[in-house]
Structure 1
Amino acid sequence: MVDREERARAAVIVALLTAGLSVVFVSSRGEPPGYAIVCWVTVAAFVSAMTWYAYRAVRLMPEPTAERRFWRAFTVAGAIFGVAELAQVVLTVADPSSVDALTGTGIVRTVALGSGCMVLIGVIATYPLPHRSARERLCYHLDLATVVTAVGAGGLYWTMTGAFAAGQVAAIIAPLIAMLLTFAVGRLYFSGTAPFRWHIGVMGPIAGTLESLARALGPELVRAGRPGVVFALSLTCHALLLVAAWLQYRQFLSGQAVTPVARKRPYSAMPYLALAGIHVLLITALLTHGLDARAWIVQAGAVLCTGIVVLRQLTAFLDNARLLAERDCLTRRLHTMAFTDSLTGLANRACFLDRLTASLHEPGPAGVLLIDLDDFKPVNDRYGHAAGDAVLIETAARLRAAAGPDALVARLGGDEFAVLLDQPPPDGLPAVAGRILRAVDAPCPLPCGGTATVRASVGAATAGRDGGDASHLLNLADQAMYRAKSRGKGAVEVAA
């Protein structure tokens, strides 16, 4: 409870300080030197505290981990940022009315901020990602390209609106840095893994956006007599980074930090939000400036983003087609498994009854033969179940050959088989049953060597195609088979 109250109190202090100074800066007009010094001194203090908390968080993390490597790089970047802000303080004290002092676009601060960002981009670009298939990697890079393109087009638009028009070459780097930061952070977002929780990670892109706006629009705001807006943007940016580092430190200190786990997302809304944003910016540019160079840049970005999203959708369509084909293949396999005997490859009881029911609704008579093997149990008892399985497989093959290509041969269970004849031959069911008996009587080779001989008893039944009951017809054949068995092995009996 004490830790929670302490965190809440610190967050409130930072928020109130930032909000209060931001209101003062935004409401100021002209070029107040004192405000510039207060701003950059406060920013330097925020950066120093951010670096300190990031360093303490690293000390609490287990090693070696990718998460610790990221926060170590964040600490190094914070130290570089701190050097930049101290240099900005010195520059502001020396010449508080200069454009560089009021906008923070001096060469030292620009190079230092760029170097720190490159450190972060480097560690994020090499952050380990979960294993992905080729299709997932393609979709991942297309989503990332959409967001980066939209950010780049928007950054160039704002640069040409403000900093470029004022001749501040150093500020032109802002869109490039924004694109790189977007790529780096987006890489972690779209990968489903990150070295921080989402409420901490979201502060980084917001801070980068605020700093990019401050650098891109700074000269134009100074000319308009509103340098306080630049101060507020930079102050808020570094306050967010300070809170992010502090929250990460508090999580590890309290033992509540959880190692990030990769999450697979079926889709992401970010590319579509980026596409919508670039089109809104295009409409705004056309309404406010007409079809000038800035509008053409946004137009090119919108076309490129649309093309990437279309390509992403085509990839999804192809993937859906592949999944549908796999579904159909799986459906066929499941159907085969549901209606096929796994040992012999014959139809099973469910398939036989289904086909028999359908056959009874077609024109002409239907014939059924029920075959039960004699002397099969002694084969199992003497030679084992492997030999019994071999006899069943061989018997299934002989039944197929004896019944003919137009007959459905099924294994109903155990050593019981059945044959469905949609078109009984002219010589009748007894002739087919005789061929089956002769085929089954031949000795069967065994896996262990030697042979085994089994015989069969056959019951036959015929029904008209009047939509009769399949189970009833099968029961008639079963009764005939038992009458044949009672007469002796290798006999045939036809149901009356």
Structure 2
Amino acid sequence: MTTSVVSVVVASVANLGVLVWLMVRGDDVALGYAGGPIALALGVWACHRIAGATGLSRPARRFWRILEVSGVLLLTTSCVALIRANNDAGMSLWTAVPLMSGVLVLMSAFLGLPGQARTMSGCLRAALDGFTVAVAAGLVFWYGVLDLAPRDTSLAARIVAAVVGVGGVLLLVVIGKSAARPDSVIAPAALRVLTIGPLTCVSGTFLQIAGSEDARMAVSVLSLPLTGAALTLGAHLQRRALTRTGPAVTGTGRSLFNLLPLAAVAVMAGLVISVSAQDLTHRQRVIIIGAVLIAGFVVARQLLSLRENTLALRGIRRQQAELERLALSDNLTGLPNRVRFTVALTERLDAGEAAAALLIDIDDFKMINDTIGPAAGDQLLLAVSRRLRNQCSPGEMPARLGGDEFAVLLPSFEGAADRLLQAFAEPFVIADQQLLLHASAGVAVAAPGETADEVLRNADIAMYAAKENGKASWVRFEPSMRQDMADHARLAGELRNGIARGELRLYYQPVYDLVTGRMHGCEALVRWQHPVRGFVSPGEFIPCAERSGLIVPLGSWVLRTACEQLAAWRAAFSSTIEAVNVNVAVRQLREPGFVDEVAAVLSDTGLVPDDLVIEVTESSVVDGPQVRETLQALHEMGVRLALDDFGTGQSSLSLLRAFPVHALKLDKSFVDGIADGADRGRLAVAAAVAQLAEHLQLKAVAEGIENQEQLDRLRDMGYRYGQGFLMARPLPAAECGALMADVPAHVA
């Protein structure tokens, strides 16, 4: 059992012990009062613990701390009652002062709870309700209860009883209004349990004055233990509400305590009838009774209005709840959306609790969505959300931030990433298809002082780092990544300016015929000579261009410049190369007007489609239907297509059948080390690619040839074309043009 459950059990046992004592009624009265300090001490301790619980809002935390102070005052009352038990078991100033102080502090706790906007009219209505109930309760005690008191009851005892009784009734009104608030920060069940305190206070003062000796003794020994048990149970119910998953239960806006002002009117009517009927004539009595009937009619009318207003308010609150649900949840999956996730993360950070954000992005989802269609894609996202919800532990909140991006709010990071990514371990069955998904994730643990937006941004940075590391993995955010991202943004800005200022240059690496030794073509390679940084490697600025979208204008410049250069060489030399090769990124192939752009460039430069070879990677080919349609349109136009870095991606025979390829370019990684024959795996792949190209009647081009032994081995395998430092490095246009004289390169 948890500590809170143990406290409730012990407090209940203390009350049971008092009941047993009442039944046996021994001579030692102090034993009957012993349950009060035990139950109230547990109540104070329970309030102290729940006030320090994680996940509790600041107003709720303040409420339970004030209740702790009230409990201390009531504990003082019970201790005084225990000490004076054998001498004075009735109500006295010694017990009334700390008791009334505890009631007032308890009332301040409820009055301090946040609620709807407190307008002047609202405060006035609340004050009028309080005055109405206080006056009615006071008169009831004065003319009713105190008249029943024994004749030897002192005036001080009568006044104390009236004050304590009226205070208890007022506290019932305050608790009732707090429980009726739909946005109460305190668990409604806890509020209902806490009414035990003022109820015992009211009934206790009544019985202390007007009850029999047995009744006075029962209320003397039971009222404070019951209050202590109520504090303990209320704190336990609040803790259960904190750990409960699902939407929070709020107040309904209805409470029987709202009828207390109307009950006060009815009580006053009864008093008027009782008092006036003593010495008045029949005619005057009829007038008074008529006035009371009119007041009754007014009360009935108010009750009808209250019912109508309650029904209307209930409908408005249902609409408000629905609007809040729509505003804070994702329509497709039902998970919390970005707004709700950010609010929850902010609340956790404001409370000083540990928090971490896990961002999950489905790898290559666009390609999958284009393949199976939007409707099936939505079903897939719904299936992912269900699995992710099932993988979450209590206290973790999954959310869909948008598109194929999900997030999970974590109280603790340890072991969570691997566990949550297990949601993608098994294939998804969508539209009779089995789809195996992979996801990349980034984790950011909130540092002191960070906002929710900063934590999400850090998780986003880590998630993109995971994608760059090869996808299907997760990365934890490190502060150095933020600097890397800042450097990337700075480099992207400088690249944009560099394109506009003409800082980029094209170099051309010749492609040779390995049999004749003549230059067959050349590959256009972009270089950047930064005015401050100096030479910037393509491996640094090309990925930056792809992430920032600058690859589109950069690629357009490369395409036009390379075609213009080929046209210039054709005009300058009688014998020149067959075609120019231009690398094209997948981002360019997704552009709707890319095919028209290629046609326009060829027309402007006077070239024919056969003069251009577009090099794409294997991952570009499988990007989706749009890319495949673009490549098919280029093929139909007459532009030749080459698969670059062949063998490193998703190489398959089905890919070659579906893709209108003209040439295969063997990646340099398979050329390295094949001269000595030590790496039999590289030899096998290189030989297989050459044979595959021969059977499919494709050109086989080997990249990265650096020595004669490599060239000889590749030529023996059947490679007709090659490029590498052995024949020529990437050269400026003028130097590359000088090699176009009819002089074979040294390939023998």
TM-score, normalised to structure 2, is 0.33
Flag the structure with higher helix content.
1
Flag the structure with higher strand content.
2
Larger RCO (alpha carbons 8 Å, 6+ apart):
1
